[in-house]
Amino acid sequence: MDAAVADFLRHLGLEKNSSAHTVKSYREDLTLAVAFLREKLGESAQPIQITPRTLRAYTVWLHEQNYAKTTVARRIASLRSWLRYLCRQGILQTNPADGLRGPRQSKKLPHFLSIADVDRLLAAPNRDEPPGRRDHAMLETLYSAGLRVSELVGLNVEDVDLGEGVLVVRGKGRKERLALIGPTATQALIAWYADRPAILNGRIRDANAVFLNQKGGRLTVRSVGRILAHYLQQLGLDPQTSPHTLRHSFATHMLDAGADIRGVQELLGHRNLTTTQVYTHVTTQRLHESYRNAHPRAN
């Protein structure tokens, strides 16, 4: 079992170019699954001994642990991916996970900020100091391009064309796409770039990174979250807001303004249009609310 899992994780990292975070999630999910399977099938159990009945028992056990539906769905999806891989490798002749389904997910509309709240947030950093200029450029870029926070911190200087307002972004699976930034984000980046040489002077840790900490190293996803939380508290905005909320806000505001959904899909780097369509539910919901509030016969 352990060797089969290790081989699958190597496949994800080396052949599928999955991120370290994705590989880590699969490792955690499959470690839990293998521990359960060994308890049911014995310490020396082999993948070929896994049956649909065993997998159904694992699904029941996951629910009994009171995991959230999203967690149960992810753990089952990880197990299905592993077993499909073993079938492709010829280790399994049939897939015991055929027909195995995760829990039905309740549709949760993405959290987003109003345009007014986004404006307040983007204006919050003190642009008289280098850290504030960096934070301003960081927030402007997140919202202007609709980036994932991992894409933001992964930006290198050579990925940014300030003249054209274009970014080369590495998304999920390290797939590259082009993202766009507007004049405000461009000017914010120009102001921040003027500070980078002083920060890098004698403390070079990652000279290619667009966004640096005070020690000259690349900002991390966690650091961006902490920086955002500071401004949210300062402004009294919803503390549940995350860097990803700015991506949700980007998509919602674009569609609200009449942008073509396929164009928004491309800018977000979504593989499937259905992923982007969740934002149309947001805009439709807001349309219903406006109708109910304004029309004399809506209530």
Kindly list the catalytic residues. Answer: 148, 172, 244, 247, 270, 279
Alpha carbons 185 and 140: distance in angstroms, whole number: 5
Segments in 89-129 forming alpha helices (H): 115-123
**β-pair type (166-170, 160-161):** antiparallel
Token pair, residue 120, equals 């307040």
Residue among 66, 41, 69 nearest 55 (CA): 41
SS3 of 96, please? coil
Please state at what angle helix 221-235 crosses helix 243-256, rounded to 10 degrees: 70
How many Å apart are CA 210 and CA 207, to the nearest integer?
8
Whole-number Å distance between alpha carbons of 258 and 250: 13
Return the structure tokens found at 21: 């975070």
Provide the b/e sequence for 43-56 (b: ≥16 CB within 10 Å).
eebebeebeeebbe
Edge-to-edge strands, sheet with 166-170 = 160-161, 166-170, 176-180
CA dist., res. 222 & res. 287, Å (int): 35
